[in-house]
Amino acid sequence: MTDDATPVAAPVSAGGATTASPRREPGARSPWERYGWLMPALWLVFLVYPLMALMASEAAPVWIVIGWIGLGAFVVVYVAAFLNGMSFNGGGLTTPPRPIQWVAFAGMIVCAASVIPGVGGAAVSFLPFIMSFASYGLNRVAHWVTMVVCVAITAGIVLLVPGGSGYLPLLAIIALLAAVNTVSTSLIIRSAQAERLGLELATSEGREAVARDVHDLVGHSLTVVSLKAQLVRRLIDSDPERAKAELADIESLTAEAIAGVRATVAGVRSAALVEQLASCRDALEAADVTMRVEGDAAALSPAQSLTASWILREATTNVLRHAGAGVVTVRIAPGRFEVVDDGRGIRGAEGNGVRGMRERATTGGATLSVRSGESGGTHVEVTW
């Protein structure tokens, strides 16, 4: 048995074997996946020290044979674990480890332990590989436990084994590796958490946007359809021709609502203010409400017109549902858009409609004001 071989540990890159990687579609193979096995193969050169110790060992032949078998098996398990980590199907670090990764970890420990009787203290050269695998391929508990155990084993050799001071540089390397692994894995985990949080936030905002769009589109259309259906019921006996015309309008509105929902889902949301003015005028007239327009729609920029269209749609829906108004006045000026009715005015807390208008205005870089009109009714004002 010999203890005089200078131990050298593989640097941090040896731990790259199982760093967390983004999942890919099955069958997608990058150059990293095809040729990445060269990386662990190169780092295995640091196992030359226990190999040299085996060649010079004076231990019993049976232990030397076991040592050679253990060394070869360690190489196979380490490279296989590395390739499993590159397969983008394994867990570890940011996802729960798969059972095969725990098996590989245990196999590496068993292989390293089988070499100890043949090489003695030189077997500590296996520790950096084991530490890095635990840090990047398993979970935080395994990282901390393995780090403490490896540092304790190396420190015990330095302090308790005769001639152990020769392993002092290795103790420093292992301690440094433990610190680097701790910091780097913490950064990887925080990065993954931040990415997940960003994705959840984007998903939540997207759902809110879709919900708002559907509310504005379907809520407005269904309100008008309901009013026209009531009108048709009253006219079907007294004025069949007008009833048919109203039914045609209902069909058109339904088709418009379906198209609007499809456009919303596709992320294509565009409504010219001129078209929205005409649509709202028709909807209000069906409810015997007069609509007056003061100003020119061209006074607003395309971006402002889009915001104004949504505000006008929602304000019209609110008038039809709640206001009981007789006249609605729309005023358009550069940087300003107003909808004023002579109805009942503001009653109770803000509903989903007003909250939706505020969100629309904020998204369009505008400020929304909803207040009681000077002579009653409700005054909705958007300014940029």
Q: Does domain 287-384 have CATH number 3.30.565.10?
A: yes
The rounded distance, in Å, linking the Cα atoms of 330 and 196 is 45
DSSP summary character for residue 288:
T
Neighbour count for residue 335 (Cβ, 10 Å): 12
- Residues 297, 278: contact at Cβ < 8 Å? no
Residue 280 Cα distances to 309, 312, 319, angstroms: 10, 8, 11
* 230, containing H or E segment: helix 168-238
How large is the angle between the packed helices 168-238 and 240-265, nearest 10 degrees?
170
pLDDT tens digit at each of 384 positions of the chain = 444 444 443 333 444 444 434 444 444 444 444 555 565 666 677 777 788 888 887 778 888 889 899 888 988 888 777 776 644 444 566 677 778 888 888 888 998 888 888 877 777 878 888 888 888 778 888 888 888 888 888 888 888 777 777 778 778 888 887 888 788 777 777 776 776 666 566 555 556 666 666 666 666 667 777 777 888 788 887 877 887 787 877 777 777 777 666 655 544 444 467 888 888 888 888 778 888 999 888 888 877 888 888 888 888 888 887 777 888 899 998 889 999 888 877 766 666 777 878 887 887 788 888 888 777 788 889 988
DSSP string, 26-37: TT---HHHHHTT
Q: Where are the domains of the chain?
A: 12-199, 287-384
Q: How far is CA 361 from the centre of its chain?
A: 27
Q: Which residues pair with 380 in a beta bridge?
A: 339, 370
Q: List CB contacts of 43: < 8 A, sequence separation 6 or more.
A: 10, 11, 13, 14, 129
Give the pairing type, strands 290-294 and 327-333. parallel
Say which amino acid occupies 373: G
